[in-house]
Amino acid sequence: MLFCPTRALAAATMLLGSPAFADDTVRMSGWGGSEVAIVNGLLTNVLADDLAKEGITVKYEPVDGDFSQFIINGLSAGTAPDLFYVDIFWARSIFGADQAAPVTQDVSGFAANLLEAFTYDGKLYAVPKDFNTLAVHFNKDIFDDAGVAYPSDDDTWTTLQEKLVAVHKALPEVDGLCIVPEYARFGAFALATGWSPFDSQGRTVLDERFRRAFDFYTGLVESGAAVMAADAGQSWSGGCLASERAAIALEGAWIISALRDSAPNMNLGTVRMPKDPESGKRGNIVFTVGWTVNAASKVSRAAAKVAELLTTEEAQQWVLEQGLALPSRTGLADNPWLRGGQPEQMTSRVVLEGLSDDHVMPYFFGDVGGSWMQPINAALNSVILGEADADTALASAQSAFDRMLAK
């Protein structure tokens, strides 16, 4: 057969113009709630052309309820999506079971500490999509109506508590804060004291520093500064802020999108977490989520490409401007958008500053995973509800940790 340059050129042109993943459909799952609109917008408004160019169709399947259980059950049953969120506090249960595919894309542009959070046995198993820290978000109008000074970066636990009590006294229908009996919020106060979840020998010791933070947090309700979120018909402090049941909320930047939907006209302010009055230090928790490819996926290469597209600078810039979370790419840390004067910009800037607080720890508990928090959560709940005193509750929690970490 004679070689035909024209035919060869036409064939080469066809190959160069063809999609890399012809007709691959990637099932992708993340949390439900306020994230659904943002992820749909990202796929439709930012990534549609890129996905079409690659020949990939994304089937987005958000999950309401217990997402980690949905993923774990799905992986066991062989029904899990091709690409899904993993939170650092339960990620190792997936990584350790060889249920996640190692990341192969270039990750040099991502924050090193976030990459470390998703590294297991020397391999990276998730691409960090974003991060958050905690901050004090408040309704300026409530404080104005109560004649109470706004929360500020100079607040200690004590001065913030005094402001919340004063708001409730002036406006009995408004509570200062809706608290949840969970380490995910209480932990920032414990860390401010200099306490660490694990000592040098890998043990959890609920020492006098922890006790001081525990007594403060559990005493907020009795002091008149707070109410249990569940007693206000809410599952989180942001719900109370949005409904004007509470004056402040302790949340991350995710509260911006929630308030945009439920309280778009709120006169919002945001300041950093209060300082421990004894140590003079702030504590904070870093929350981060990554995109992980199912190791059993039949379209794993296409799924990895979707993860790459979802975490480009362009995609992360768009997500940042929606007020969901802060970018995991270091190139966006000094983003001009963060220097703006709109409430969502100022809130994001304060949340970013939380990374520089004095005692900051990731929402991550090694191989123990999320079960590590259960003894603390149970102790918080029992004391706040009046079912046990602090001595009894903490003794029970310490015993639980001793058993858990005895190996």
Tokens of 308: 């790459």
Domain count, the chain: 2
* pLDDT category of residue 241 using cuts at 50, 70 and 90: very high
**Co-location of 388 and 258 in the same domain:** yes
CB of 266 within 8 A of CB of 248? no
Question: In this structure, are strands 283-293 and 326-327 parallel, antiparallel, or unpaired?
Answer: unpaired
* pLDDT category of residue 66 using cuts at 50, 70 and 90: very high
Residue 337 burial (10 A CB sphere; 0-12, 13-18, 19+) = middle
> What per-residue confidence (pLDDT) applies to 407?
67
**Co-location of 72 and 215 in the same domain:** no
Is the predicted pLDDT of residue 199 greater than 50, yes or no? yes
Render the burial of 34-68: b for 16+ CB within 10 Å, e for the rest: bbeebbeebbeebbeebbeebebebebebbeeebb
The DSSP element (H or E) to which 163 belongs, if any, is helix 157-170
370 CB-side CA count, 13 A = 14
**Co-location of 122 and 180 in the same domain:** no
CA torsion angle 228 230 235 240 (round to 10): -60
Is the predicted pLDDT of residue 4 greater than 80, yes or no? no
**Co-location of 159 and 226 in the same domain:** yes
- The residue with greater pLDDT, 382 or 18, is 382
**Co-location of 252 and 157 in the same domain:** yes
On whether residue 343 sits in a domain, the answer given is: yes
From the CB of residue 333, how many other CB atoms can be counted at a distance below 10 Å? 13
Strand partners, 329: 110
- The Cα 112–Cα 191 span in angstroms is 22
**Co-location of 167 and 227 in the same domain:** yes
On whether residue 12 sits in a domain, the answer given is: no
Is the predicted pLDDT of residue 323 greater than 50, yes or no? yes
**Co-location of 378 and 350 in the same domain:** no
On whether residue 205 sits in a domain, the answer given is: yes
What do you get for the CA distance between the two ends of the chain, in Å? 72
From 361, 323, 363, select the one nearest 342 (Cα to Cα). Answer: 323
On whether residue 125 sits in a domain, the answer given is: yes
Strand partners, 246: 175
What average pLDDT score do residues 29-45 get?
92
Tokens of 378: 């149970």
**Co-location of 106 and 149 in the same domain:** no
* pLDDT category of residue 356 using cuts at 50, 70 and 90: confident
- The Cα 371–Cα 62 span in angstroms is 24
On whether residue 7 sits in a domain, the answer given is: no
On whether residue 17 sits in a domain, the answer given is: no
On whether residue 361 sits in a domain, the answer given is: no
Tokens of 80: 């899990």
* pLDDT category of residue 18 using cuts at 50, 70 and 90: low
Q: Which domain holds residue 293?
A: 24-131+287-356
> What per-residue confidence (pLDDT) applies to 190?
98
> Which domain CATH number covers 95?
3.40.190.10
Strand partners, 374: none
On whether residue 197 sits in a domain, the answer given is: yes
**Co-location of 143 and 261 in the same domain:** yes
Helix (H, G, I), strand (E, B) or coil at 136: strand
**Co-location of 141 and 262 in the same domain:** yes
Taking only the tens place, the pLDDT of each residue in 78-99 is: 999 999 999 988 898 899 999 9
Taking only the tens place, the pLDDT of each residue in 295-320 is: 999 999 999 999 999 999 999 999 98
- The Cα 123–Cα 112 span in angstroms is 14
**Co-location of 239 and 142 in the same domain:** yes
**Co-location of 318 and 340 in the same domain:** yes
Is the predicted pLDDT of residue 144 greater than 90, yes or no? yes
